[in-house]
Chains A and B, each alone.
Chain A
């Protein structure tokens, strides 16, 4: 047998580690290594924590096409799926975001109604009140203060608790466990324990909602359990997913977005000067594009051979769709590294694309519109209380942001 080196194997041997480090001093930009890959071609190989070498898809158009391609699976239990971390011992239940249709669609449709546009719009006055009350408390409290603790985290936490029907009084408990779950550097045992804590909590709550249903999302799921359409553990699993997703993403968009605006005072001024809903909405879309806080890539596995730019992704090979560099693709967004709140950025993939696109996006958008339209206008002198170099960034989590943001006014 002759020994020839397969060029794909050779590339895998040279594959750089993923995730990659961001450049010091550029906390809002994707890692330079990823941007170099984007310039070199549509596909690259990267090496994960377990030594596997999935494909990294670099361009906006290819990512969107693959995320909408039925030959691509989101099933974490399928061989070749590029996992972010080791599975906890014994595994854990898997929510619909890590399943394929028809099971994914069956479960997702049970929770889509509260996220419909009119339902979300009906929540806007309540969210405005939450934001106004928190700003009142902020202004009455210590100065300087950590904006994450005093504002960025409580806003989405209060909103998702109201929507789900989870007592906000328990927020310390679920925020602590949620932090562990999304941290890439904890042990599988720690993650498993945190997940078990949340499942236990949601299961108890589900029991209450089954016995005494009220008008909230968890009671809706409880009704499905009672009707035999949904298993109780599936309902608890969905509750955990919505609780975590509702917290971490929006909170990080509020704090990291505020920091990005501090670094771009001309753009911050645009938000201070307007209350035009269209301009506020454009600003939110641009901040979503620019900050791309989900920086671990969408994870998928090919179920058939798929050709991209003359290369073939084989069935069973893992895919990472790096939405952070898709949102900085110069073929789609002119001067992609410039934060420009006046541009039309609505095509960004910050919420993903395809059937798994973020369920909570209408709610996230509305919350961010209210926050960005209110915070800087009500506290026009709001500014950082420390230097950029001293702010701790979440390089270790699957959601990017800042751990703290000391502010003064």
Chain B
């Protein structure tokens, strides 16, 4: 699984961090998404998919 994020689209909802804390973080100054793990292990795949589904700005893309 490969993950990409679009920081320009991000609205800092933080829902990705709640869903998958090992993969996503937020910038201190404005809460915009930071990708920690572009290729997360299989065990985190479900959480990452959930993160993409709840992202209100559709800023997370997943390639399998």
Tell me, yes or no, whether B50 is within 8 Å of chain A by CB.
yes
Among B29, B30, B53, B57, the residue within 8 A (CB) of A354 is B57
A118 and B56: CB pair below 8 A?
no
A118: chain B residues within 8 A (beta carbon): 17, 26
For the complex, give the distance between the alpha carbons of A362 and B31 in Å. 12
B13: chain A residues within 8 A (beta carbon): 357, 361-362
For the complex, give the distance between the alpha carbons of A220 and B13 in Å. 19
A361: chain B residues within 8 A (beta carbon): 13, 15
For the complex, give the distance between the alpha carbons of A44 and B18 in Å. 35
Known A355-B56, A357-B56: A113·B29 in contact at CB below 8 Å: yes
- A-B contacts counted at CB < 8 A amount to 57
B57 and A115: CB pair below 8 A?
no
Tell me, yes or no, whether B64 is within 8 Å of chain A by CB.
no
B18 and A68: CB pair below 8 A?
no
Tell me, yes or no, whether A79 is within 8 Å of chain B by CB.
no
Count of interface residues, chain B, beta-carbon cutoff 8 Å: 20
Interface size class of A (residues with CB under 8 A): 20 to 34
What's the least CB distance linking A106 to chain B, in Å? 11
Tell me, yes or no, whether A171 is within 8 Å of chain B by CB.
no
B50: chain A residues within 8 A (beta carbon): 346
A68 and B58: CB pair below 8 A?
yes
What's the least CB distance linking B33 to chain A, in Å? 10
Tell me, yes or no, whether B3 is within 8 Å of chain A by CB.
no
B11 and A108: CB pair below 8 A?
yes
Tell me, yes or no, whether A112 is within 8 Å of chain B by CB.
yes
Digitize A103-147: 1 where CB-to-B-CB distance is under 8 Å, 0 elsewhere: 001001100110111101000000000000000000000000000
A116 and B57: CB pair below 8 A?
no
Interface residues of A in 271-307 (CB under 8 A from B): none
Among A117, A347, A355, the residue within 8 A (CB) of B57 is A355
Known A117-B26, A352-B56: A357·B12 in contact at CB below 8 Å: no
Contacts A116-B28, A357-B13, A357-B56 known; 18 new A-B pairs at CB < 8 A? A67-B56, A105-B11, A109-B30, A112-B30, A112-B31, A113-B12, A113-B28, A113-B29, A116-B12, A116-B14, A116-B26, A117-B18, A346-B50, A347-B54, A351-B56, A353-B56, A355-B9, A357-B11
